[in-house]
Amino acid sequence: MHIQQKTFGRFTEYVLSNPETQESVAILPELGGIVRQLWLKNDSGLHRIIQCGDTQEELLNSLPSYPSTHLFPWGNRIKNGQYTFEGTAYQLPINEVPRQNALHGFVYYAPFQVITAEATANEAILTLGYTYKGGYFGYPFPFQLSIQHTLSAQGLTLTYTIENTGESNMPVSLGWHPYFSIEGESKSDWTIAFPSTHQYLLDEQMCPIDRFEQNYATGVDLATVSLDAVFAVTQQPTVEAVLSSKKQDIAIHLWQEAASEQFNYTIVYTPDSGQCVAIEPMTAPTNAFNSTESLWTIPVAGSKSIACGVYVGNRS
């Protein structure tokens, strides 16, 4: 395995690669540690399944959609940017102005530091770190966030570790926001299957007001439905969302640790362009800072670790 530093526009990009299979992942530490490109292989060949722009201009133009970003210290929305934690009320900046929400935390395009970069015969590992001292308005809870990217024969694995470095408990939720695609196809060519138990009914601010039973374990044809929804998934050691082509022998598998207090939710979003699908592992539903559903509280000096990942298989 190899790790190389390359120049991508004004950014330094780290590329983890397997020279035998040509699989690779390109990561931009200075831009939130986003995964700009991901190439993985199955029996039918090599497939680019994440693509956030071939040029800096294309990448920058895509940023309003938060491609491949890490959503922390909250995933998705906090309604009106307001929440109360342990008896104290907080107001966050509103960065989703049309809906008046605080959206996706504040590390999504923050500069991460490279902690380690090491390659062996079997895997390439890049670990990034972000140190927060408590200065973001409305979130006075210092933390250290690290993200370990591992490229191996099992595909790409992301391992998150959160440490509370402050002097009080801290509320958090976490998510990853990748958009997946299969080159030469659109969503009408795909099906998606994942073991959902419930779908959340959303209000005009895209925040949950109720939920109903919904099971997509046997799959749904994306030619017949558009999705922009939060789902609770079956609690078990790991669950998978599988995006399959109806035309080619390829299936993209996004797995997430999903035992109790892990990635117990998945958001699926099919943009109007029809060229990709966002499949987002989440530790809590939208607006968890207010509902407190699955909201993590990390104690002083405490930590949490959790993993998700991607591999490409054959269509079953």
The tens digit of pLDDT for each residue in 291-307 reads 999 999 999 999 999 99
Structure tokens at 184: 């030469």
**Token code pair at residue 311:** 């591999």
Q: Within 10 Å of residue 61's Cβ, how many Cβ atoms? A: 11
Q: How far apart are CA 190 and CA 153, in angstroms?
A: 25
Contacts of 2 (CB under 8 A, 6+ apart): 15, 16, 17, 18, 19, 119, 124
Structural domains in the chain plus CATH codes: 2-313 (2.70.98.10)
Expressed in angstroms, the distance from the first to the final Cα of the chain is 29
Predicted structure pTM score = 0.97
Asked whether 300 and 245 are in contact (CB, 8 A), the reply is: no
Structure tokens at 261: 């207090």
Q: What is the DSSP string of 12-47?
A: EEEEEEETTTTEEEEEEGGGTTEEEEEEEEETTEEE
One pLDDT digit (tens) per residue for the chain, 316 residues: 999 999 999 999 999 999 999 999 999 999 999 999 999 999 999 999 999 999 999 999 999 999 999 999 999 999 999 999 999 999 999 999 999 999 999 999 999 999 999 999 999 999 999 999 999 999 999 999 999 999 999 999 999 999 999 999 999 999 999 999 999 999 999 999 999 999 999 999 999 999 999 999 999 999 999 999 999 999 999 999 999 999 999 999 999 999 999 999 999 999 999 999 999 999 999 999 999 999 999 999 999 999 999 999 998 7
Say how far apart CA 204 and CA 182 lie, in whole Å.
32
Tokens of 81: 């940017």
Cα 299 to Cα 297: distance, rounded to the nearest angstrom: 6
**Which pLDDT belongs to residue 224?**
93
How far is Cα 151 from Cα 17, in angstroms, rounded to an integer?
7
Residue 58 parent element (H or E): helix 56-62
Q: What would you measure as the largest C-alpha separation in the chain, in angstroms?
A: 56
Q: CA–CA separation, 102 vs 92, rounded Å?
A: 6
What is the reported pLDDT for 155?
A: 98
Task: Report pLDDT for 315.
Answer: 84
